[in-house]
Amino acid sequence: MNILFICSSKVWGGNEKWVSNAMSGLKKRHNVFFIGKDNHLRGRFDSDIPFYSASFGSVLDLSSLRKIEQVVTDNQIEVIVSTKKKEYVLGGLAARRQGVRHFLRLGIVRKMKWPLWHRWVYGRLNDGIIVNAHRIKQELMRYSWMREHPVRVIYNGMPGLKEMTVSSASTVSFMVLSTGMLTRRKGFHLLIDALAQLPEEIKSVLQVHLLGKGREEESLKTQIRKLGLQKIVSMEGFTSPDPWLKRASLFCLFSANEGISNALTEAMAAGVPVLTTDAGGAAEFIVNGQNGFLVERDVESIAAKLKELIAMHPKELRACGQKGKETVSSLFDTDRMVAELEMCLHNFA
């Protein structure tokens, strides 16, 4: 197959990681092409994948539509995979005009607030939708006009699972790690508020590191200063989580909405115990207290759970992390993801 991936993102995140992994796997047996907003993603993808740029100014950007159609024609594209809202429309229009198949990749639960528009975009402008959690599919099936539409659940793959180094947390301090886009949805502000509620004797052994960039960065820095947590909480910017995961005692993610978070599964793959909310697909593979911990998305509940886990015996906590690693190894294999994706793009049956 000749497959075109479209991603109009301006930043690198979980969706972009999925695109990179999917293209790397599929290119072994197919011809893979990419078109994005600009060149900032070029160095992140395999250098032998042809890279095209378009402006993606809006969902009805005619210049971008023409560019997609040109790439489709020049490369005899058979399948388009769109991964962001803008190209859901542009990729769909191009596919319909060029007579090729079009699939959406949806990695988060979306509310369909405008029935006519969303019915057209999600129910008519594509040949199927690929999601990374059963929870997302269940939410889509709430809409009567989606119930007969093809939706396939394919769990994300994680490259390098077998080579992943297991965490060796410090026995002197307790290090909490949280990574992701610094947006309100990710819940970093809840973690900071919860830390402020902990007793001083617990704060004295804590090191908390937040990794990522985003529009909430300055707001979070202000929150940390106001609560007097500068000696405990450090914001490390956009950096690889790997060195931090090797030393982490606990990984936290308190999202309001997710599919299945790459950051969460990466932490589990490193053997780090995780504390997270039942957002998106987390509860599909985390059994509370066995291979991870689930908590309600409010400050009091998070503070109470943090206090409990920090007091837990290190061996018990590490055992939970090891079970999490085993879970991820069995469910999030990259070869399996690519094989299922290949089958899906061939035939959505």
**In the CATH scheme, what architecture does the domain 174-331 have?**
3-Layer(aba) Sandwich (3.40)
% of the chain with per-residue pLDDT over 70: 96
Compute φ and ψ for 202, nearest 5 degrees.
Answer: -80, -45
At residue 349, the pLDDT reads: 46
Confidence of residue 167 (pLDDT cuts 50, 70, 90): low
**160 pLDDT more than 90:** no
More confident residue, 162 or 264: 264
**169 pLDDT more than 80:** no
Q: Tell me 209's DSSP state.
A: E
Question: CB 69: neighbour CB atoms within 10 A?
Answer: 17
User: What are the residue ranges of CATH 3.40.50.2000 in the chain?
Assistant: 2-157+334-346, 174-331
Average pLDDT score over the chain: 91
How far is 104 from 102, CA to CA, in rounded Å?
7
Residue type, 275: L
Q: Summarize pLDDT for 211-269 with one digit per residue, the tens.
A: 999 899 999 999 999 999 999 999 999 888 999 999 999 999 999 888 888 899 999 99
**171 pLDDT more than 70:** no
- Range of lowest pLDDT (35-49, 158-172, 191-205): 158-172
Cα 146 off chain centre by: 23
CATH topology of domain 2-157+334-346: Rossmann fold (3.40.50)
- Range of lowest pLDDT (35-44, 112-121, 146-155): 35-44
**Mean pLDDT in residue range 19-31:** 94
Query: Which residue blocks in 248-298 are alpha helix, DSSP H?
Result: 262-269
% of the chain with per-residue pLDDT over 90: 73
The contacts found for 274-278 with CB under 8 angstroms, 24 or more apart, are: 274/250, 274/321, 274/324, 275/250, 275/251, 275/302, 275/305, 275/306, 275/309, 276/252, 277/187, 277/253
More confident residue, 57 or 169: 57
Give the sheet arrangement for strand 274-276, strand by strand.
233-237, 206-211, 174-179, 250-253, 274-276, 293-294
Q: What's 286-312 look like in SS3?
A: CCECCCEEECCCCHHHHHHHHHHHHHC
Confidence of residue 286 (pLDDT cuts 50, 70, 90): very high
pTM above 0.85, yes or no: no
**93 pLDDT more than 90:** yes
